[in-house]
Amino acid sequence: MAELTDLDGIGPAYAETLQEHGYESLTDIATDSGKGIEELLGNVNGDDIVEQAGGIITESEPDTETSEVGEFFSPGLTDAQERHLCTQSSKSAPRPGVETT
């Protein structure tokens, strides 16, 4: 998991100061306007820190794939497992207007 110190310009002392003021994670940083960070730390570019945090969060999110109808599947499933899930869910619930035998 990424740490505050993964941000350029944020060392252990700045990370500790941020944590003492409620910035516990990169998400806390990424959702800040940047002004709060600048006011707190003084000589850093808050907008740059916020942008870096958002970039790290985006890079660390797992890739998700969509099927032809736009349904999201769990990352890591094989194509065969995804097809099995699709066929199982379509067998278990009849669609409106479709007769089952």
pLDDT at 30: 93
Where are the alpha helices (H) located in 1-101, listed in sequence order? 12-20, 26-30, 35-41, 46-60, 79-92
Instruction: Please provide the average confidence, as pLDDT, over all residues in the chain.
Output: 76
Parts of the chain belonging to CATH 1.10.150.20: 4-60
Say yes or no to pLDDT of 33 above 80: yes
Select 4-60's CATH number: 1.10.150.20, 3.40.50.1820, 3.90.25.10, 3.90.1150.10: 1.10.150.20
Q: Grade residue 54 by pLDDT with cuts at 50, 70 and 90.
A: very high
CA distance 41 to 8: 14
Output the six-digit token pair for 60. 């660390």
Output the six-digit token pair for 94. 């009849």
According to DSSP, the residues that pair with 73 across neighbouring strands are 65
